[in-house]
Amino acid sequence: GETIGILGGGQLGRMMAFAAARLGYRVHIFAPEADSIAAEVCSRFTCADYTDEAALARFAADCAVITYEFENVPVAPLAAVGATPLLPHPRALETAQDRLNEKRFVTALGGRPAPFMAVDGAQDLARAVAEIGAPGILKTRRDGYDGKGQWRIMTPADAEGLDLPPQALIYEGFVTFFGEFSVILARAADGSVQFWDSAENVHVNGILDTSTVPAGAAIAAQVPEARALAQKVAEALDYVGVLTLEFFATEDGPVFNEMAPRVHNSGHWTIEGAITSQFENHIRAVCGLPLGLTTLAVPGARMLNLIGDDAHDWAEILADPANHLHLYGKAAARPGRKMGHVTRLKLEA
By a kind-dependent CB cut-off of 5 to 8 A, residue 69 interacts, out of ligand ATP, Mg ion, none, with none
Residue 145 binds ligand ATP (CB under 6 A): yes
CA 262 to each of CA 92, 105, 166, 207, 345: distance values in angstroms, whole numbers, following the listed order: 9, 17, 28, 17, 24
* Residues 234-263 as x/- pattern, contact with Mg ion by CB under 5 A: ------------x-----------x-----
172 is an interface residue for ligand ATP by CB under 6 A: yes
Pick between residue 69 and residue 258 the one whose CB is nearest to Mg ion: 258
Q: State yes or no: residue 115 binds ligand ATP (CB under 6 A).
A: no
Q: What angle do CA 329, 332, 335 make, to 5 degrees?
A: 115
The answer to whether 280 is a known ligand-binding residue is no
Identify the three-state secondary structure at position 142: coil
* Residue 312 contact, options ligand ATP, Mg ion, none, Cβ 5-8 Å cut-off depending on partner type: none
Spatial CA neighbour of 199 closest among 111, 304, 291: 304
**Which residues lie across from 86 on neighbouring strands?**
66
Per DSSP (E only), the strands in the chain are 3-7, 26-31, 44-47, 65-68, 116-119, 136-140, 150-153, 169-173, 179-187, 193-195, 200-204, 207-213, 241-250, 253-260, 300-307, 323-327, 338-346
243 touches ligand ATP (CB under 6 A): no
Q: Write down the least CB distance from residue 297 to ligand ATP, Å.
A: 25
Between the alpha carbon of residue 55 and those of residues 7, 35, 75, 203, the distances in Å are 12, 18, 15, 37
**Residue 137 touches which of ligand ATP, Mg ion, none (Cβ within 5-8 Å per kind):** ligand ATP
The verdict on 114 binding ligand ATP (CB under 6 A) reads yes
Spacing of C-alpha 222 from chain mean position: 20
**Is 305 an interacting residue with respect to ligand ATP (CB under 6 A)?**
no
In the complex, the smallest distance separating the C-beta of residue 310 from ligand ATP, rounded to whole angstroms, is: 19
Is position 174 an interface residue for ligand ATP (rule: CB under 6 A)?
A: yes
Residue 324, annotated as binding a ligand: no
Query: What are the φ/ψ torsions at residue 147 (nearest 5 degrees)?
Result: 75, 5
Single residue of 246, 262, 307, 342 touching ligand ATP by CB under 6 A: 246
Choose among 217, 215, 185: nearest CA to 201: 215
| Cα 281–chain centre separation | 15
The dihedral sign for the CA sequence 132, 136, 138, 142: negative
Query: Is 150 assigned to a binding site?
Result: yes
Helix or strand holding residue 316 (H, E): helix 314-318
Side chain identity at 290, as an amino acid letter?
Answer: P
Answer yes or no whether residue 175 interacts with ligand ATP by CB under 6 A: yes
Per partner kind, with CB cut-offs from 5 to 8 A, the member of Mg ion, ligand ATP, none near residue 206 is ligand ATP
- Smallest distance from ligand ATP to CB 130, Å: 17
Question: Is 259 an interacting residue with respect to ligand ATP (CB under 6 A)?
Answer: no
* Position 195 contacts ligand ATP (CB under 6 A): no
Annotated binding site for ATP: 99, 139, 144-150, 172-175, 180, 203, 257-258
Annotated binding site: 99, 139, 144-150, 172-175, 180, 203, 257-258
Residues binding ligand ATP (CB under 6 A) = 114, 137, 144-148, 172, 174-175, 180, 203, 206, 246, 257-258
